[in-house]
Amino acid sequence: MVAARIDGKAAAASVVERVKVEAARLSEASGVRPGLAVILVGEDAASQVYVANKGKMAESCGFRSLTHRLPAETSEADLIALIEKLNADPAIHGILQQLPLPGPLDARRVIAAITPEKDVDGLTVINAGRLASDVLDEVLLPCTPAGAMLLVRQTLGDDLSGKSAVVVGRSQLVGKPMARLLLAANATVTVAHSRTADLAAVCRSADILVAAVGRPQMIRGDWVKDGAVVIDVGINRVPAPEKGEGKTRLVGDVAYEEALEHAGAITPVPGGVGPMTIAMLMANTVIAAYRAAGLPAPTF
């Protein structure tokens, strides 16, 4: 079998088109223009690129977009004071604190300062708790698992009854919320991780295999059940000596070429889950703006 390629770029573009329509509808109904504030502390090169992309995407959706660039030496008190100012600003509906934070800043305390209704990254304890407690009408979901789930639903439909799903990785950011979303869609879910015995055999039991470990090409082709849907969340930059694509290239957590021969459908890296992450940030921002206006929010 040769797997179908799940086109995350195309799926992300159609989410963004929906976001534009919903933003325009909100603006007509209530005069509210969604506002997204992105905070970047320090000079991390990769983060600079992501933040610039998010700003451009927000503007293309018709949002008000503000990027706050703070020096690496910023104190935690000053950063939290900025977040509190944005919490209180009625023109801002989403606050994204770009991670990782420089050394002495405590990400947990900083994220906790974001009001849950503006937490468009879905990282606060309140939003994690809403997902865990099935309070789905109030939750803002973490963007990467929400985007990955949309690709699963696009491939297999909304009801995963009778399907087994294996999530490799148990992070707060991806693994745990992904498992909860799959469970909410009626899949039978296993969360595997670095201490799982015979990980290959566990993976082979999966109709839906989600790789979120952050180790380049760790999941081999013969770990993939024939016909499985494989969602590769990993984005790893590795040296590319052999191909002449420059010094480095991006690979996922799955050995893509090998997995192609087993999977029924698979997300590539790049062009898979990555673009969906940014699209879902836009979706969360428009959702937060609808809720702030007291109107029923669109679902994605």
Binding site for ligand GUE (CB under 6 A): 50, 96-99, 121, 143, 235, 250, 269-271, 274-275, 277-278
- 171 in a labelled binding site: yes
Is the Cβ of residue 187 or residue 251 nearer to ligand GUE in the bound state? 251
What the block records as the tokens of 216 is 């380049």
Residue nearest to ligand GUE (CB): 274
118 is catalytic: no
Which of the residues 121, 207, 232, 253 is marked catalytic? 121
DSSP string, 211-274: E-S--TT-B-GGGSPTT-EEEE---EEEE-TTTSS-SEEEE-SB-HHHHTTT-SEE--SSSSHH
* Residues 61, 80: Cα–Cα separation, whole Å: 28
DSSP string, 174-197: THHHHHHHHHHTT-EEEEE-TT-T
In the chain, count of helices (H) and strands (E)?
Answer: 10, 11
Shortest distance, position 159 Cβ to ligand GUE, whole Å? 28
- 170 in a labelled binding site: yes
Shortest distance, position 99 Cβ to ligand GUE, whole Å? 4
Nearest to 181 by CA among 158, 213, 205, 199: 158
Shortest distance, position 275 Cβ to ligand GUE, whole Å? 5
Is the Cβ of residue 110 or residue 179 nearer to ligand GUE in the bound state? 110
- 169 in a labelled binding site: yes
Q: Binding-site residues, please?
A: 169-171, 235
Active site residues: 54, 98, 121
Q: Binding-site residues for NADP(+), please?
A: 169-171, 235
